[in-house]
Structure formats: C-alpha cells, structure tokens
Amino acid sequence: MNSSSGGFFTTIASSVIEQGGVVFGARFNDCWQVEVDYTDTAEGLSAFRGSKYVQADTGSSFKDAQRFLKEGRKVLYSGTPCQIAGLKQYLKKDYDNLILVDLICHGVPSPKVWDKYVRTKVKGKTGSTINFRDKSTGWESYSIRIAEYAAKYYDDPYMKLFLSDVILADSCYSCPFRSGRSGSDYTIGDLWGASDWVFKNTREYGIGAVLVYNERLKLEPDWHKEINKISYNEVISSNPSLIVSSKKNCFARNMSVMLSTRIGVSCAAYALRCLRFARRRIKKFVYWRSR
Ligand SMILES: Cc1cc2nc3c(=O)[nH]c(=O)nc-3n(C[C@H](O)[C@H](O)[C@H](O)COP(=O)(O)OP(=O)(O)OC[C@H]3O[C@@H](n4cnc5c(N)ncnc54)[C@H](O)[C@@H]3O)c2cc1C
Ligand code: SF4
C-alpha cells in the first residue's frame, strides 16, 4: 500500500536483501529534501518506497555503490534514468553483481521549489510524514499528504505545477535517457489506463508496468502470478513519458522567474490558472476578429 504503483521495486529489492545485497533508493532527509541512500535491511526499504516528485541528490552514492561492488556484494541501484546513466558512466565497467532499475520519468522539479512549498506545510515540525502518492483516496485519484495537510493531486498547487510541466529541470525537456537508453536492466512505472482490461480488483492498490531488458535476477516463481504480459505499445499508449520528454511550454519561463522571487508556490499555481484563462480568452478574441 505504501508503494506508488504495483510494488515491483519492493519485490526485486527484497530479493537482493535476502541474498545479502545492498539496495540504493531515494529517501527524504531531515530537511525534507530527497537524497539517494542505501540499506541492507528489509525495514530500510520503507524509506525508499513511494515516488518523491523532486530531484534527488545522489551525494556519495556512486562511490558507495562502487565500493560494495568491488567487495563482491550484490547491489541494486534504483533511480531516474539519468541517474542510472550517470552511475554507469562513473563505474566505467560492467559488474555482474549490479542490478539497475530506473523509472518511467515525467521529469523532476527543482529542490528549491519543493523546499519553498514543503516549508509552508511542515512549519518546522520534524518527523512529519510526506506521501506524494497516498492511495487512501484511490490509486488513480491519489492524494498528496504533508504532515496534517492532504489534497487530491489535481487540487494541490505543487502537483498542479509539476504535472503542467512548468517547474521541471531544464534537462527534462529534452531527456536523452528515456526508452531504455539509460542502460538499466528494468524500468518500472504506472500502468495508467490498464485497470479495466488487465486486472480486475486492484484499482485501489495500483498497477505497475515493468519493462525487462535484462533478467539479471531470478525472482521467486510466485511473483509471476500477478504479472500479465502486454506489449510495449500498450504501455506507451497510456504513458507517453516512457518515450517522449515533457514539452517546455510558454508558461515555464514565467513560473521559474516568479518562483525565484518571494512569490510562493500557491500564488504561482494561481497565476498559472489566470495566465491560461487569459490566453484562452485572447485566442477566442483573435479567432472572432478574424472571421
Ligand atoms: C520524479 C518521478 C517521475 C515519475 N514519472 C512517471 C511517469 O511519468 N509515468 C509513470 O508511469 N511513472 C512515473 N514515475 C514512477 C512511478 O511513480 C513509480 O515510482 C514507479 O511506478 C515504481 O512504483 P513501485 O510501486 O514499484 O515503487 P515504490 O515502492 O513506490 O518505490 C519507489 C521507487 O522510486 C524511487 N524514487 C522515488 N523518488 C525518486 C526520486 N525523486 N528520484 C529517484 N528515484 C526515486 C525509489 O528509490 C524506489 O526505487 C515517476 C517517479 C518519479 C520519482
Ligand atoms: S526526465 Fe530525464 S533528465 Fe529529467 S529526471 Fe527524468 S531521466 Fe533525468
């Protein structure tokens, strides 16, 4: 239930831990920023579960992963496609004991924008819980929860700006690492749009898509019980992020200028709504005048 979609990350990560391996994933630090850390216990995996829609700091994780690999331990590194490509470049050679898992990636907002927003919600309280994909209102109509605050994703200002593609990092608008080009062994994501035709009773828990490029790990035969094989095109049809970058629209520049000032995320989301409304009106007016 704490996984964002089908929970494949936990399936594969638990198998690595059982074999004495080390798992790298993204977690919140004490200041509510996201960073890549590692664990070799099953309990340690819980901090990695759940998508964090913020750019994660890889810190010393590439160096740590290399150390474990050289010691001969199995290592699973999970992250965005660009992080996986970055790790491969850092390591400069292939390791048989390395398993790479990346995500279908929409893009990441800047940590500065997230910091601005989260501070207005946690108000200095440490130990607050944050969940970008709370499923208590359903998997498809998920909510964001920050401490006592909760809102459906489409009502929350930060999620609105994220999903409108106006606060993504510049590199995300022309990302060269999609479509399995990061060099990962598995890509995991949501199987949006599949609920009616693939599975019957899983709507509240979520359905994940797993693309297997290299079956590096022999998993328990049981995990196949919940797997249906579908074509690559079926995954793409409801999830274009797998192959195409988000478009940098004309509002993105305005938002980054706005958010670099004292203007908060909620005001920026409101301004986006007004700008869109004004644009629609202008378009209508121009169309009417040209008739
Ligand atoms: C920024 C971002 C954008 C995404 N965009 C899409 C999309 O457009 N379409 C789609 O289908 N799926 C997208 N996903 C993936 C999806 O949200 C789920 O993470 C994925 O389906 C895995 O689900 P799970 O239940 O197996 O994993 P969970 O058990 O939820 O585990 C989460 C996994 O994601 C990793 N992770 C979480 N946050 C980050 C982060 N900020 N940086 C790097 N790694 C992170 C964790 O280390 C862990 O491996 C995105 C994820 C992120 C983090
Ligand atoms: S969209 Fe590309 S560049 Fe942006 S975070 Fe995802 S993998 Fe990295």
Provide the residue range defining the domain that includes 207.
8-108+168-242
The pLDDT score that the predictor gives to residue 248 is 86
Q: Is residue 194 part of a domain?
A: yes
* Total domains in the fold of the chain: 2
Distance 220 CA to ligand 2 centre (A): 31
Q: Where are the beta strands (DSSP E) in the chain?
A: 22-28, 34-39, 75-79, 98-103, 130-134, 143-146, 149-152, 186-190, 208-212
The pLDDT score that the predictor gives to residue 224 is 58
79 with 12, same domain: the answer is yes
Distance 174 CA to ligand 1 centre (A): 19
189 with 255, same domain: the answer is no
Measured from the Cα of 241, ligand 2's closest atom is: 1
The pLDDT score that the predictor gives to residue 1 is 67
Measured from the Cα of 26, ligand 1's closest atom is: 47
102 with 173, same domain: the answer is yes
Residues flanking ligand 1, CB < 6 Å: 3-10, 25-26, 34, 48-54, 56, 78-80, 103-106, 108, 188-190, 208, 239, 241
172 with 285, same domain: the answer is no
Which ranges of 164-291 does DSSP label H, i.e. alpha helix? 232-238, 250-259, 265-289
Q: Which ligand is nearest to the CA of 26?
A: 1
The pLDDT score that the predictor gives to residue 233 is 86
Structure token digits, residue 246? 């988000």
Are 23 and 48 a contacting pair, CB within 8 Å? yes
Going from the first residue of the chain to its last (291 residues), give the mean pLDDT of each consecutive group of 10, the final group possibly shorter: 81 94 96 96 96 97 98 97 98 96 95 92 78 88 90 94 93 93 94 66 76 79 66 85 88 79 85 82 76 70
Are 8 and 207 a contacting pair, CB within 8 Å? no
The pLDDT score that the predictor gives to residue 105 is 96
24 with 52, same domain: the answer is yes
182 with 97, same domain: the answer is yes
284 with 172, same domain: the answer is no
Is the distance from the beta carbon of residue 251 to the nearest atom of ligand 2 less than 6 Å? no
Query: Closest residue (by CA) to atom 1 of ligand 1?
Result: 53
45 with 76, same domain: the answer is yes
Specify the pTM: 0.92
**Residues 245, 209, 36, 170, Cα dihedral to 10°:** 10
Q: Is residue 15 part of a domain?
A: yes
Q: Is residue 136 part of a domain?
A: no
The pLDDT score that the predictor gives to residue 101 is 96
191 with 238, same domain: the answer is yes
Distance 19 CA to ligand 1 centre (A): 24
